[in-house]
A and B are shown apart, each in its own frame.
Chain A
């Protein structure tokens, strides 16, 4: 049982980085960035390959840099070349498949055999005892999150937030939206790649398909978190992302343990949850209108 809780918490913290990236692109910048799936694997591939070569810490930063590059391509396509933003992400994502294979040495699966990872390095310090991997995951996610909160409060962060809020106003404040979108997507994808990088080192392997559907799971976590914590300030967003991600992993663990929903169906369930959650405002309006029509027609009969 303790092991289940430990794993759920750990995965929750690790994958919260993906939701954090989506919070930045989807909520703050108001752009549906579908680079996520490929970018996650990119981070994982770069991280695992570099760690296998004996540089586990450098691996994390290299992975983030690679992620930022992927974000830059997506941003370049949509801001300079006029590719619609969703398509820009898909195009980059598709191209990344080959890049990811290349990063793993043209195999679909790469492993860290006996080389050190950030987790084994951290374990050797003796901090946290049996809970070392959870502590490291939580520390990385919280640090990245607090950095993001700080970043969004700086001048450049404010202009990124304004870009998603009111683009006219941004131009009037002499900020170039092309620039803010580019910076925003680079940071978001660096976060996604960070998630992939840490997950890759945690499980000591990278798989070309590890990212499939991760954008939907990330969104699900974001929405669950926002339902529980509420929306508002950036700091609230940071709390929501972590809470949502942990809750999602607990549900996942529960489903695995009890077998209420067959594990094969989990992606479908996730997709339905996300679809419904995003459709909620439209559904609410629809039902409110139907209710009004019903009361109006009842009155008419009386």
Chain B
């Protein structure tokens, strides 16, 4: 499904601020896998997602998605196949446009072949309303309201719906519940679980919650200094505790995991 072959990225190369964010990272993700990723501050988790989604091009190595080399494909073209959610719930939606218009925009991602001068049809509106009912937030009755009026949790749920309204080949979740209050976070997380399993979407999720990392999904990665230091799945992962994970991390890197948010959660 997704193959990263020894990808590297160095920021500010040749300056005192040089930072090697990804160093020869390789990763193979099978179709339908749900991978959770944890790691220290600055381990390169978000950089990894940026590399996959095309916010920048990697300095070295190659990225293949569904058998096609996307290493030099621009971001907006990759996003036809990759859905992404950020920690900031405001990043995924256009605040001055209505819920309906936001969904239409996300939906036209798949309808790339359709006429650019076409308008949102009645059929599509009905489809959007039906999808919105899934969220159970009453948004289906507020489709003509601007998204800026929604709460953070509602916006993130809507973003999730938009990213998956046409199921992507790969879904990247970058701590997408971290900025939400506990109730909203729980809600968005259960929706994530539901949607991902419904469409069997291959998914990568960064989280700072170690319990969540082990509980959700089928495989867990730990990252440090731009590479994967721990990769557990299957039998080995079942019955693993947070302590086990931390011990393994120490064994792998020779130091403790220093993510303030992990320690606080």
Binding site for B on A (CB under 8 A): 151, 153-156, 158-159, 161-162, 165-166, 168-177
Contacts and interface: CB of A to CB of B under 8 A. Distances in A.
B92 A169 contact: yes
Interface string B100-144: 011011101101101111111000000000000000000000000
A172 B94 contact: no
A138 B106 CA distance: 37
B93 A169 contact: yes
B31 interface: no
A22 B163 CA distance: 32
Interface string B167-211: 000000000000000000000000000000000000000000000
B91 interface: yes
The 7 A-B pairs with the shortest beta carbon distances in the complex, nearest first, are A165-B94, A156-B116, A174-B80, A174-B79, A162-B94, A166-B94, A174-B109
A220 to B, nearest CB: 23
Interface of B is mostly: loop
B216 interface: no
Contacts of B162: 173
A38 B109 CA distance: 37
B61 interface: no
A155 B97 CA distance: 13
B20 interface: no
B96 interface: yes
A155 to B, nearest CB: 5
Nearest to B75: A171
Contacts of B79: 171-174
A154 B94 CA distance: 16
Nearest to B91: A168
Nearest to A156: B116
A100 to B, nearest CB: 32
B94 A155 contact: no
A166 B108 contact: no
Contacts of A158: 97, 101, 104-105, 108
Nearest to B116: A156
A171 B76 contact: yes
B91 A173 contact: no
A175 B97 CA distance: 16
A12 to B, nearest CB: 27
A232 to B, nearest CB: 8
Contacts of A172: 79, 83-84, 92, 163
Contacts of A171: 75-76, 79
Interface of B: 74-77, 79-80, 83-84, 86, 90-97, 101-102, 104-106, 108-109, 111-112, 114-120, 162-163
B93 A154 contact: no
Contacts of B116: 154-156
A177 B95 CA distance: 17
B119 A173 contact: no
Contacts of A165: 94-97
A77 B204 CA distance: 38
Contact of B77 (A154, A169, A174): A174
5 contacts: A154-B117, A155-B111, A155-B118, A156-B117, A174-B77
Nearest to A165: B94
A153 B101 CA distance: 9
A145 B116 CA distance: 19
Given A161-B94, A171-B75, 17 more contacts: A151-B117, A154-B116, A154-B118, A155-B105, A155-B114, A155-B116, A155-B117, A156-B116, A156-B117, A158-B104, A162-B105, A168-B86, A169-B93, A173-B108, A174-B76, A174-B109, A176-B76
Given A154-B119, A174-B76, A169 B112 contact: no
B75 A161 contact: no
B104 A155 contact: yes
Contacts of B119: 153-155
B49 to A, nearest CB: 12
Nearest to A151: B117
Contacts of B95: 165-166
Contact of B93 (A153, A166, A174): A166
A221 to B, nearest CB: 21
Contacts of A169: 91-94, 102, 105
Contacts of A153: 119-120
Nearest to B81: A174
A131 to B, nearest CB: 34
Contacts of A166: 90-91, 93-95
Contacts of B75: 171
Contacts of A170: 76, 94, 105
Contacts of A175: 76, 105
A168 B88 CA distance: 12
B182 to A, nearest CB: 26
Contact of B105 (A168, A173, A177): A173
A174 B163 CA distance: 11
Contacts of A151: 117
A174 B75 CA distance: 8
B97 A161 contact: yes
A172 B170 CA distance: 13
